[in-house]
Amino acid sequence: AVMGASGSGKSTLLAVLSGRASYGHSSGTLLMSGRPAGNLRSIRRVFGFVPQDDVLHGELSVEENIAFHAALRLPLGTTLAEQRRHVRRVAKDLGLLEKMQSRVGTAERRGISGGQRKRVSIAMEMVSQPMLLFADEPTSGLDSTTSHEVVRSLCSAASRLGTTVLTVIHQPRFETLCLFDDLLLLAGGGYVVYAGPTEKVVSYFQEHLKVEFPPNSNPADALLDAIQPPAPYVEGTVAADVWSARSEWHSGVDVVRSRAHFRRTPIPFMEALLIHIDRSLLLTMRAYNTILVKQCLSVGAVGLLCSVITYNRVDQYFLQSGLASLLLMLLQGVAAQRVFGDDLGVTFREALVGMPLVSYFLAKDFAALSEVTLSAAVFTATYGAFSGAQQDFVAIISGSWAFVYTVTGLSYIWSITQSPGSAQMTCVVSAFVSFCVSGVYSPELPQLAALFDGRGWMVPALSPIRWLWGYMLTNEAKVLNKLTKQNGASAFKSKGYDLDKLTECQSSLLVSTDSSILTMKDAWIDNNGWVCSVSELLLLGVMFRFLAAVCLLMRVNSQSTGFSELFVHSAQSGGKLAGMLFTALMISFLLLCLFAEVWVFGILRLQGLFNVHFAL
């Protein structure tokens, strides 16, 4: 156990040892089985970490939380029956058998008690049979009795599994402290004033530091009072010098083992992917209330819009379809925040112990496709019923599905890179920016494409609303009668859509066979803004997901010591400069990837091989 005064560096010590310290500059020697090791990230698959906060899936039951960790982290070759036995045994050790089917609970829905949540958090790590377990204040926020029971359960499970536990504990009662074999006591400033058997700490302080332990008092309190103000106390430097002089107290024997002893083969990628998909789908189904509310809002908002802005002329359809796209982007963008935003704490926790991030990302995205499909279907039914549009439902649902898919990918980026509040604001702002550069209002598409010396086409090319709105206009124009086309030709052309060029747009849902040989910029300046397929939206959605995956990998790894060392976050001026340059290089690389892909969108409109090319 690690105990000490507030600010003495207890949690920082755990962060450095476990490879989570993404701040400051650390020095010293870390030995692993008697051999030097940079940090413990190289063996992270065989250690566990219990965070101070209860980072759990609140929508899952106690058993589900533990079972999914067992499936993902137990050694390769463990059968399903063995996994279930491990789950039951750990639950029994921690006194959770009677609560296995209970929901953990969220801020909106009450679940199990605080002490039980702590035990579930511990069980999620112990079920993987770790060789080393870090626990950062597992008793924080609990009363003395509950704290003692949690620690007793932890020690019992660790003893059975042969796990070494290193935990930070804050001013426990002495019976709780005595459950630990050894104690590391830190004074203010991080000075080590004792490191040895817990049962000898009182006699050491009495004999060598002349500390008195009043009768009927908690010795753990007396220990902390002795090394910190305002009570009469021993200076940290003095206590540390006394301790350093007592070499017989802290001598030990190094046990040298092969590094292979600390390696554990991870489960195959596809197996991990299927387990993550199973969990993600379950979480999606448990969030049915939120999904239902969003669909009701979609029906109400789109229905109200169509009743206020009726479609009698083509210019009215321009406004109606543009605002409908904006509403859909706002609703879906904000709702998609919870796909990754709600789970970032769990993601950090799981990545720390070596759980695969790529399979996690793909599984979360795959599970979100069910909600994408539902949202597109609800929008199609509502808009098709109330808008007065003449295009068929297949065109509306294909465009809306690709649009929601793209907006969801963009929302991933905001939710991964920002705090929940900032991500929602960014999502709303990005929806309005996308609307403003879509060509619905001034400036129109030809004017946008001509901006910045002909490079302005990149701006609307990144706008999901531009592609959905253009796709809806294209499909609506195809089914208009001759008289309506004649009356609306000037309105279409003013927006950058020349009806005379509509005949060049022959498309399926995904592939365009436009006979033009213009680049996207030239086509838009020439009033040929027709969107013949949803390939533009789908490709944009894939691009957003790629950037979101890169952001997830960078943000998760930024919480680790290794990434901190890579960025050279140190107090040295040269290190700071190198870190700043490296950070700028990474950001520049991401921006170059983004604009390179957009540039490819433009040149893919050229006539290509096999005479088949995508509209991007």
Tens digits of residue pLDDT in 313-332: 899 999 999 999 999 999 99
Q: What is the mean pLDDT of residues 359-377?
A: 94
- Whether the per-residue pLDDT at 43 is higher than 60: the answer is yes
Alpha-carbon distance 62 to 94, whole Å?
12
What pLDDT score does 120 carry?
92
- Whether the per-residue pLDDT at 573 is higher than 60: the answer is no
Among the residue ranges 32-41, 387-396, 432-441, the one predicted with the least confidence is 32-41
Among the residue ranges 71-75, 362-366, 520-524, the one predicted with the least confidence is 520-524
- Whether the per-residue pLDDT at 613 is higher than 50: the answer is no
Question: Which tokens belong to 178?
Answer: 């005595």
What pLDDT score does 538 carry?
92
b/e per residue 290-307 (b: at least 16 CB within 10 A): ebeebbeebbebbeebbe
- Whether the per-residue pLDDT at 566 is higher than 60: the answer is no
Question: Bridge partners of 133?
Answer: 48, 165
Instruction: Pick the more confident residue, 388 or 253.
Output: 388
What pLDDT score does 408 carry?
96
What pLDDT score does 409 carry?
95
DSSP state at residue 108: S
Instruction: Please tell me whether residue 372 adopts helix, strand or coil conformation.
Output: helix
- Whether the per-residue pLDDT at 287 is higher than 90: the answer is no
- Tell me: cis bond preceding 230? Omega within 30 of 0 counts: yes
Alpha-carbon distance 283 to 276, whole Å?
10
> How many Cα atoms within 13 Å fall on the side-chain side of residue 218?
13
∠ CA 13-125-123 to the nearest 5 degrees?
125
What pLDDT score does 545 carry?
93
Q: What is the mean pLDDT of residues 464-486?
A: 92
- Whether the per-residue pLDDT at 616 is higher than 70: the answer is no
Q: What is the mean pLDDT of residues 235-251?
A: 67
| CATH classification for the domain delimited by 2-232+239-246, as one of 3.90.700.10, 3.40.50.300, 3.30.110.40, 3.40.50.1820 | 3.40.50.300
Place of tokens 């003395």: 144
Alpha-carbon distance 347 to 175, whole Å?
35
Render pLDDT for 200-216 as a digit per residue (tens, 0 to 9): 888 888 888 888 888 88
Instruction: Please tell me whether residue 192 adopts helix, strand or coil conformation.
Output: strand
What pLDDT score does 349 carry?
83
Helices 464-479, 482-494: inter-axial angle, 10-degree rounding: 160
Give me the chain's average pLDDT, please: 82
Q: What is the mean pLDDT of residues 535-547?
A: 90
State the pTM of this model.
Answer: 0.84
- Whether the per-residue pLDDT at 121 is higher than 80: the answer is yes
Cα of first residue to Cα of last residue in the chain, in angstroms, is 60
Instruction: Pick the more confident residue, 520 or 258.
Output: 520
Question: Which tokens belong to 320?
Answer: 């109606």
What pLDDT score does 592 carry?
60
